[in-house]
């Protein structure tokens, strides 16, 4: 009876996600996405690309923000180099160059996660939302070239570049006014006000405001190919700032691949960090040992093997142990590819898509692949992959 109950439980657990994923889910509406991207759509292209990449690692964003808060005198390339040993995605590491950006993101962790979910599930739609909002800001007279930025229209897309490539000004603005009359009263734009301690220049009420510029040389390496909905990386700039985690590419630009990004990060961790990254810790090991001592079962095998052991009264044969060892080795080898992270990202994307139809991104009440190292052959293999 115990075996039958376990088999039934396993069958139900395995079948439930499949049926859930098979259900058709509506894509997020333009109103929902515009509400979500409104606070960052007017960032310079490179910074925007790296912010969107970083939102797919929400917990690391919080850790980087805490580091930046504890190291208030550091910014620009020097700050990025200082966190080179941290187990964060390079996109997250890059944001310590811009303390105000990190502090702003840290103040809205729910928004960070929702943005990352949307970017993973619907990257093309997120990019279209950015372009839609930029056109509205331009038509309202609030997006134009200045001493801080260049606004360039190319093939019906709006690019925003620093006026001086080595000095970046992060705009601050109120989404409720910068885009003109907001078109979706039922979906007010998310507002990320400047965090305490960061001065804002005058003019915020009228449009864009800029604080002090941040001197950078290589910290900004992201970008977009708007026409093909591609998220790009400038290989030379990236390699110049990430000297311990270079891209193995002969091209000047390559495409961001989050799956490879995750695996390269795991490969660069030591064994203790790697276990923590995968969700293992001492309490997990102790629980497994306790369960094994009580049941007499070898808990190192797969679930199906442990089920066979229960059916046989707890007596695992040498063949079963060999099979378990082989399976464990095979699983470890699979960790070097994209399979596990791809499945996790797909599940996260599906879960995200399922929330969009009834989700207003939490704004009603408020109103307003980690990159592969040299030995790994690079972490950017083609178009943005979910």
| In-domain check, residue 290 | no
More confident residue, 274 or 176: 176
342: how many CB neighbours lie within 10 A of its CB? 18
pLDDT at 257: 77
| In-domain check, residue 192 | yes
Indicate the pLDDT class of residue 250, thresholds 50, 70 and 90. Answer: confident
Where is 348: in which H helix or E strand? helix 339-355
pLDDT at 288: 52
Span 140-199, pLDDT tens digits: 999 999 999 999 999 899 999 999 999 999 999 999 999 999 999 999 999 988 877 765
pLDDT at 209: 85
| In-domain check, residue 386 | no
* 3-state class (DSSP) for residue 165: coil
Please state, rounded to an integer, the average pLDDT across all residues of the chain: 74
| pTM > 0.95 | no
Least confident of 93-102, 170-179, 181-190, 260-269: 260-269
In this prediction, residues 8-19 reach a mean pLDDT of 35
More confident residue, 216 or 277: 216
On the CB side of 363, CA atoms within 13 Å amount to 30
More confident residue, 170 or 312: 170
Would you report the helix, strand and coil content of the chain in percent, each value rounded to 5?
Answer: 55, 10, 40
Span 345-369, pLDDT tens digits: 556 656 655 655 555 544 444 444 4
Going edge to edge, which strands form the sheet with 230-234?
222-225, 230-234, 253-255
| In-domain check, residue 313 | no
Q: Is the pLDDT of residue 274 over 50?
A: no
User: Residues near 339 by Cβ (< 8 Å), separated by ≥ 6?
Assistant: none
Percent of the chain past pLDDT 90, that is, above it, reads: 49
pLDDT at 7: 39
| In-domain check, residue 332 | no
| In-domain check, residue 296 | no
pLDDT at 210: 86
Q: Any idea what the Cα angle at residue 116 is, between residues 112 and 120, rounded to 5°?
A: 175
Q: Is the pLDDT of residue 22 over 60?
A: no
What tokens appear for 38 in the block? 């409104």
| In-domain check, residue 162 | yes
pLDDT at 245: 85
- Among 106-120, 248-262, 272-286, top mean pLDDT goes to 106-120
As for how many domains the chain has, the answer is: 1
Write b or e for each residue in 71-101: b if 16 or more Cβ atoms lie within 10 A of its Cβ, otherwise e.
eeebbbbebbbebeeebbbbbbbbbbbbbbb
Indicate the pLDDT class of residue 279, thresholds 50, 70 and 90. Answer: very low
The domain in which residue 61 lies consists of 30-269
Indicate the pLDDT class of residue 2, thresholds 50, 70 and 90. Answer: very low
| In-domain check, residue 301 | no
pLDDT at 376: 40
């Amino acid at each position: 009876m115990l075996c039958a109950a376990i088999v039934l439980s396993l069958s139900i657990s395995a079948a439930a996600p499949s049926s859930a994923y098979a259900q058709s889910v509506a894509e997020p509406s333009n109103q929902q996405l515009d509400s979500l991207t409104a606070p960052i759509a007017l960032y310079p292209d490179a910074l925007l690309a790296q912010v969107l990449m970083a939102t797919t690692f929400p917990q690391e964003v919080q850790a980087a923000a805490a580091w930046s808060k504890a190291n208030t005198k550091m910014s620009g390339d020097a700050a990025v180099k200082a966190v080179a040993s941290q187990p964060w995605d390079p996109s997250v590491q890059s944001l310590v160059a811009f303390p105000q950006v990190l502090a702003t993101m840290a103040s809205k962790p729910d928004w960070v996660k929702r943005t990352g979910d949307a970017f993973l599930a619907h990257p093309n739609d997120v990019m279209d939302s950015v372009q839609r909002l930029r056109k509205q800001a331009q038509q309202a007279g609030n997006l134009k070239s200045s001493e801080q930025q260049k606004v360039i229209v190319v093939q019906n897309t709006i690019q925003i570049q620093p006026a001086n490539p080595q000095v970046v000004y992060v705009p601050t603005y109120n989404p409720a006014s910068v885009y003109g009359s907001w078109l979706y009263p039922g979906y007010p734009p998310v507002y990320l006000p400047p965090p305490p301690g960061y001065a804002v220049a005058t003019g915020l009420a009228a449009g864009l405001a800029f604080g002090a510029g941040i001197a950078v040389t290589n910290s900004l390496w992201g970008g977009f190919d708007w026409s093909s909905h591609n998220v790009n990386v400038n290989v030379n700039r990236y390699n110049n700032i990430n000297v311990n985690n270079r891209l193995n590419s002969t091209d000047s630009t390559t495409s961001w691949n989050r799956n490879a990004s995750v695996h390269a990060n795991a490969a660069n961790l030591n064994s203790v960090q790697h276990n923590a990254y995968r969700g293992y810790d001492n309490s997990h090991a102790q629980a497994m040992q306790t369960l094994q001592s009580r049941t007499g079962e070898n808990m190192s095998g797969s679930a199906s093997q442990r089920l066979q052991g229960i059916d046989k009264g707890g007596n695992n044969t040498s063949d079963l142990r060999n099979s378990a060892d082989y399976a464990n080795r095979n699983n470890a080898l699979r960790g070097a590819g994209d399979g596990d992270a791809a499945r996790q990202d797909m599940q996260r994307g599906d879960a995200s898509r399922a929330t969009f139809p009834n989700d207003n991104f939490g704004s009603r009440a408020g109103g307003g692949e980690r990159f592969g190292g040299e030995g790994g052959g690079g972490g950017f293999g083609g178009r943005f992959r979910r």
